[in-house]
Amino acid sequence: MPTITLLYAGILGIISIILSAGVGKSRGASGISIGLGEDKDLLVASRRHGNFVEYVPLALILMGLLEANGLSATAIHTFGAVLTFSRIAHPIGLKADAQSHPLRAAGAIGTFAITAIMSIWAIILFF
């Protein structure tokens, strides 16, 4: 059983709820129940949450499969820590008026890198 992945899935689940609450808060403040309208805060909150749900599920699936296939606890914790840091940094750095914020870049690069590493490792384990 992938118990280490279970820990990171729980942590990332809490982060997802926080990001989702940000969307709800922005919807309430703007009065926009569907879509984004012209509200920048709602757009940013929606993309923070949307980006999270676009990348985290695949990363967690890969992590769990690697753990279930006997990858070391150290490797799984490293993957989980990098993914968690990246998924916290990215929404903090995601701002409507600053495309090149360093935390946004760190979050995106960290997420892409860890997902690529886990994907390649999974393919190697298969063969």
- Res. 20 pLDDT band, cuts 50 70 90: very high
Mean pLDDT (the chain, rounded): 95
Contact 101, 91 (CB under 8 A): no
- Res. 98 pLDDT band, cuts 50 70 90: confident
Query: Tell me, what's the pLDDT at 96?
Result: 83
The share of the chain scoring above pLDDT 90, in percent, equals: 88
Q: Give 47's contacts (C-beta < 8 A, 6+ positions apart).
A: 94
- Res. 125 pLDDT band, cuts 50 70 90: very high
Strand positions, DSSP E, 38-112: none
User: 21 lies in which domain range?
Assistant: 3-126
Q: Which residues are registered as beta bridge partners of 95?
A: 98
Residue 68 is part of a domain; what is its CATH number? Answer: 1.20.120.550
* 2-25 mean pLDDT: 97
The total domain count for the chain is: 1
